[in-house]
Chains A and B, each alone.
Chain A
């Protein structure tokens, strides 16, 4: 097994998944529709309550990075559901009966889902610009912000890859991940400033990596807290959001890349 085989095979598998994005644009629409809805609902329903003086403008600026984080984390569900679907249809069996690099199926899958996330982030950024969100920093800082979001999402997609190969159907992936991902992306600084949360919930949110990636993106895009009197967070995770996010991503990858690959070798069509 040469390293070149892994690269070429991964590219072949990634291409297959990208063709699907092209052929089924509804999929992209479906993954962006609900975050767009969230932008509109949060910006115009809650915005006024959270940011009464500014009529919600500052809140909309604050909100978008949180929406980005939530959207790319939900994007990982596509990885899991897609793999579960491939298992069910016998496509994983077919791959496993080929003399290809075994790791290429998952590598190709997770890489193509990065492309999906890039497309989703473009659509969401345009939506953000429409409701008044702006990048107030340099191009490079903004780029690093997007990159951090993608790295974090990439790590999460390996968790979902493992789950997708473990459970009996794509529906289970969807249901199971909603139970986990909704709390994970809501009990965070994604939609509200953290100082509004009660004690234990606040501690969870402060150490929640969704908060750190959101905080990092906000810093790198230059989007301030809607409350002008807000103080900079002192908890380590949010004082060093970029480093904390990268540590999380690395830890998740170290655990879930081998786990998912092990599960791939055991996966059977049902």
Chain B
């Protein structure tokens, strides 16, 4: 299967600041790549370069088989972009926004209108379609913006932090919309700072920090890098944490980490449910009141914190 997006050695400097320091990435046709990183990691810069908005200082890039820098107009015909802020004209109605974009893709007057109505239906905006976008909720604006990126049914789609600023409900709605889209065969490059989002949506993940790729792989591969499961115990009385830690330390494969504030202890373990039962027996027998206990698989948050070397709250405590 060929690659719908291919970037090699992207470098972008702003004065003495290096925003991108040699980023390579490929996205297979029909797959979803999650570009993951904290604020300022360079995610948006990558998107801006691949969508022809910004020229890098070095590097090569191809989108949908076309050279991004040699044929930007050709590339623009084949991509859809939904930027970090919903680029919706709030004085226009939803319909007018989409109709305008269709005209600017040169779909023709009639086709632009048809397409606008289709997309309003697809994104559950029919009722709001003839109201100025000013009256839309954050989630509706995002959906309209995403619809705008799809006007020309582009084979390659770029979504820059599509759910930033949305409430949890709108976020899951948005995920469902995106999942439906990629099921239709669209290639998607998605940036996000939410690890859960990359976990849910992306086939492959590239983690960048300070303009460099620091890890790549599937979500499972990345989680495996951090290691196996963790035992977490939350007690009713923080004063008993030290005792819990002393009782359980022999069961762990690593040192326990305490968090006084959350009255909890976490520790890498191996041994599954049997181990969890043994651990609970030990502390309950010792008269400790347990609020919560469980085994947790590492989340992408753990992956990220491990990779970027930033200390977690637990480590500080």
- Which A positions have Cβ atoms within 8 angstroms of B? 1, 5, 8-9, 12-13, 15-16, 19-20, 23-24, 89-91, 93-100, 104, 268-269
Please state if B53 and A8 are interface contacts (CB–CB under 8 Å).
no
CB neighbours (8 Å) of A89 from chain B are: 85, 87-88
CB neighbours (8 Å) of A268 from chain B are: 48, 53-54
Q: How far is the CA of A16 from the CA of B53 in the complex (A)?
A: 22
Given contacts A9-B104, A12-B104, A268-B53, contact A20 B91 (CB under 8 A): yes
Please state if B76 and A97 are interface contacts (CB–CB under 8 Å).
yes
B79 contacts chain A at the CB level, 8 A cutoff: yes
**Least Cβ–Cβ distance between B46 and chain A, in angstroms:** 14
Residue among A15, A23, A98, A269 with the highest chain B CB neighbour number at 10 A: A98
B103 contacts chain A at the CB level, 8 A cutoff: yes
Q: How far is the CA of A12 from the CA of B83 in the complex (A)?
A: 21
B100 contacts chain A at the CB level, 8 A cutoff: yes
B4 contacts chain A at the CB level, 8 A cutoff: no
Given contacts A19-B91, A91-B89, contact A12 B77 (CB under 8 A): no
CB neighbours (8 Å) of B52 from chain A are: 96-97
Given contacts A16-B100, A97-B52, contact A23 B87 (CB under 8 A): no
Q: How far is the CA of A8 from the CA of B104 in the complex (A)?
A: 9
Q: How far is the CA of A221 from the CA of B84 in the complex (A)?
A: 52
Choice from B53, B74, B132 contacting A97 with Cβ under 8 Å: B53
Please state if A100 and B104 are interface contacts (CB–CB under 8 Å).
yes
CB neighbours (8 Å) of A94 from chain B are: 81, 83, 87, 101, 148
Please state if A5 and B92 are interface contacts (CB–CB under 8 Å).
no
CB neighbours (8 Å) of B87 from chain A are: 89-91, 93-94
B289 contacts chain A at the CB level, 8 A cutoff: no
> 10 other contacts beyond A12-B104, A91-B87, with CB at 8 A cut-off?
A13-B104, A20-B91, A23-B91, A23-B132, A90-B86, A97-B52, A97-B81, A98-B76, A104-B104, A269-B84
B96 contacts chain A at the CB level, 8 A cutoff: yes
Choice from A16, A93, A100 contacting B83 with Cβ under 8 Å: A93
B13 contacts chain A at the CB level, 8 A cutoff: no
Please state if A12 and B73 are interface contacts (CB–CB under 8 Å).
no
How many residues does chain B have at the interface if contact means C-beta atoms less than 8 Å apart?
Answer: 29
Q: How far is the CA of A20 from the CA of B134 in the complex (A)?
A: 12
Produce 1/0 per residue, B87-123, CB < 8 A to A.
1110110001000110111100000000000000000
Q: How far is the CA of A93 from the CA of B52 in the complex (A)?
A: 10
CB neighbours (8 Å) of B103 from chain A are: 8-9, 12
Interface of A is mostly: helix
Given contacts A5-B106, A16-B100, A20-B91, contact A97 B79 (CB under 8 A): yes
Q: How far is the CA of A16 from the CA of B96 in the complex (A)?
A: 8
A-B contact pairs, 13 of them (CB 8 A): A12-B100, A12-B104, A19-B96, A89-B88, A90-B83, A90-B85, A90-B87, A94-B101, A97-B53, A97-B76, A99-B76, A268-B48, A269-B83
- In the complex, residue of chain A having the shortest beta-carbon distance to the beta carbon of B86: A90
- In the complex, residue of chain B having the shortest beta-carbon distance to the beta carbon of A9: B104
- In the complex, residue of chain A having the shortest beta-carbon distance to the beta carbon of B51: A97
CB neighbours (8 Å) of A1 from chain B are: 73
Please state if A16 and B92 are interface contacts (CB–CB under 8 Å).
yes
CB neighbours (8 Å) of B91 from chain A are: 19-20, 23-24
CB neighbours (8 Å) of A16 from chain B are: 89, 92, 96, 100
CB neighbours (8 Å) of A97 from chain B are: 51-53, 76, 79, 81
Residue among B83, B100, B104, B105 with the highest chain A CB neighbour number at 10 A: B104
Please state if A96 and B53 are interface contacts (CB–CB under 8 Å).
yes
Q: Which 10 A-B pairs have the closest CB atoms?
A: A90-B87, A94-B87, A100-B104, A99-B76, A97-B81, A20-B91, A90-B83, A12-B103, A99-B77, A90-B85
Q: How far is the CA of A99 from the CA of B51 in the complex (A)?
A: 11
**Least Cβ–Cβ distance between B295 and chain A, in angstroms:** 43
Please state if B105 and A99 are interface contacts (CB–CB under 8 Å).
yes
- In the complex, residue of chain A having the shortest beta-carbon distance to the beta carbon of B45: A268
**Least Cβ–Cβ distance between A78 and chain B, in angstroms:** 14
CB neighbours (8 Å) of A91 from chain B are: 87-89
Residue among B52, B81, B87 with the highest chain A CB neighbour number at 10 A: B87
Q: How far is the CA of A100 from the CA of B100 in the complex (A)?
A: 11
CB neighbours (8 Å) of A98 from chain B are: 76, 101, 104-105
CB neighbours (8 Å) of A15 from chain B are: 100
